[in-house]
Amino acid sequence: MISRYRPKLFLAFCGFVLLASAASAEPISRDKVFVMDGDTIIVTNDGNMQHYRDNEIRLLDFDTPEITRAKCPSEYERGIKAAARLLELISSGGQLDLTEAKCACRPEDFGGRRCNLGRRCGRLTVSGVDVGKTLIAEGYAVAFVCEGTKCPPEPSWCEGKPAKDKAPGRGAAGTK
């Protein structure tokens, strides 16, 4: 006879395993990682560039200049340099570990374009060092940490342009 509590215990156990695995770092192979820009990578299953939006990982707690959505030539140039430095870090030979993390979005927006353009969020380390901390220390990025579903103003990478506020639920950085 199966107890009526067993299915509930099983589901609770599965939920615990999922939560524990989502919070732990997973080693990844560098031949399956592509740099999209200085704070976004693509992780593919088979190592080719064909991917879906949910293969894109927005790296958390820092922001780099944009490449595809640059607002001025200076931002574009700085974005290319940040992406190149991230590629150097990934290619350096150290062990890569990716930890998926919660994006700073409203629950109803997860997985959609309103939540980080449909990308997942995570932290990438090379030989145990967070790539965001390295990029910040080297001047390629700035700290960008969200609280709950509210993010700080986007930095302005163009001279003379004010920073734009991030709307709630549009955050890309992790929550504290």
Q: pLDDT tens digits, the chain, 176 residues: what are they?
A: 444 444 433 333 333 333 333 456 788 888 889 999 999 999 987 656 666 666 889 999 999 999 988 999 999 999 999 999 999 999 999 999 999 888 877 777 666 666 666 678 899 999 999 999 999 999 999 999 888 877 788 889 997 554 443 333 334 444 44
Q: Report the CATH number of the 26-144 domain.
A: 2.40.50.90
pLDDT of residue 50: 62
Pairing of strands 56-59, 120-126: parallel
Number of neighbouring beta carbons within 10 Å of residue 163? 11
CA 98 to chain CA centroid, Å, is: 10
State residue 20's pLDDT score. 38
Q: What is residue 73's predicted lDDT score, i.e. its pLDDT?
A: 95
Q: What stretches of 72-118 adopt beta strand conformation (E)?
A: 96-101
pTM for the whole structure: 0.73
> Which tokens belong to 162?
């004010």
- Local structure of 61: helix, strand or coil: strand
How much is the pLDDT for 111? Answer: 65
Through-space distance between the first and last CA atoms of the chain, rounded to whole angstroms: 46
Q: 117 is written with which tokens?
A: 């353009």
